[in-house]
Amino acid sequence: MGLLDTASPLDRQSSVPIFTQVKMVIHGAVDSGELQPHRRIPSERELSALFGVSRMTIRQALLEMIGDGVLYTRTGKGTYVADHKIEQPLQRLTSFTQDIGARGLRPSSRLLGADLLPAPIELAQALAIPSGSELVRVRRLRLADGEPLAIETSHLPHSLCPGLIEHDLERHSLYGLLHDRYGLELASAKQTIEAASPTEEERKLLEMPAGVPVLRIHRFTSTRDGVVCEFVQSAYRGDRYQLNVDLK
């Protein structure tokens, strides 16, 4: 028997709070496949009647599940079941194009900006280039099957990839270009990851529901010869992305 045809499945004697029980029942319906990804779930009013609890309780449960990335809202259209998170293993150095393609999704990019700028002191030190020398900065919105997933701002010493911004950066993989056009063999990276609230601009570009965090990732990427060739700042949708590590 499923969520949609049970009489209230809640245990009012239990010490588990009612809204947690509501979450568990909806979670169960998502896990069992009764509620499929991108399917609209019943309205707050319907759920409140179904569970025999107030709309406030339902709202609290749904808001938490939206924050957890299990559900998402579409303005004026209701609440939907989210797709499974995209997983990125952290053992191998991969590009966005490879990561998304490996999951059977179609990667694409929208170019938000590409320019040259003098390297600020700290970045110049980290990239081992003279302060003030030219950096290429490429800012892209990255999408999977047309859905915005991340904003990435890459900085690269211009001397390593002269003329990079003349290429079509919406159609080509950055790592593909670095390899094919500039002979750069990327081999390792140092990365830090932290959860943060998105800026207003990030929230709009990533079309994120309120209350969802971003994963802010900073990465220094090096070539096989140990030349640091990229500093990238990214903001990934926290409700759509999961980073996995195997520990030994």
The string of DSSP letters for 14-83 reads SSS-HHHHHHHHHHHHHHTTSS-TTPBPPPHHHHHHHHTS-HHHHHHHHHHHHHTTSEEEETTTEEEEPP
Binding residues among 156-195 for ligand 16G as defined by CB under 6 A: 173-176
202 touches ligand 16G by CB under 6 A: no
**Shortest approach of ligand 16G to residue 179 CB, angstroms?**
9
218 backbone dihedrals φ, ψ, rounded to 5°: -110, 135
Whichever of 18 and 229 has its CB closer to ligand 16G, that residue is: 229
Long-range pairs, 5-13, Cβ under 8 A, ≥24: 6/50, 8/50, 8/51, 8/52, 8/53, 9/51, 10/51, 10/52, 10/53
27 touches ligand 16G by CB under 6 A: no
241 touches ligand 16G by CB under 6 A: no
Which of 60, 108, 222, 234 contacts ligand 16G by CB under 6 A? 234
96 touches ligand 16G by CB under 6 A: yes
Residue with the two structure tokens 């020398």: 133
231 touches ligand 16G by CB under 6 A: no
108 touches ligand 16G by CB under 6 A: no
Which of 154, 155, 213, 216 contacts ligand 16G by CB under 6 A? 154
**Shortest approach of ligand 16G to residue 205 CB, angstroms?**
16
Contact 216, 193 (CB under 8 A): yes
Whichever of 137 and 219 has its CB closer to ligand 16G, that residue is: 219
Whichever of 23 and 155 has its CB closer to ligand 16G, that residue is: 155
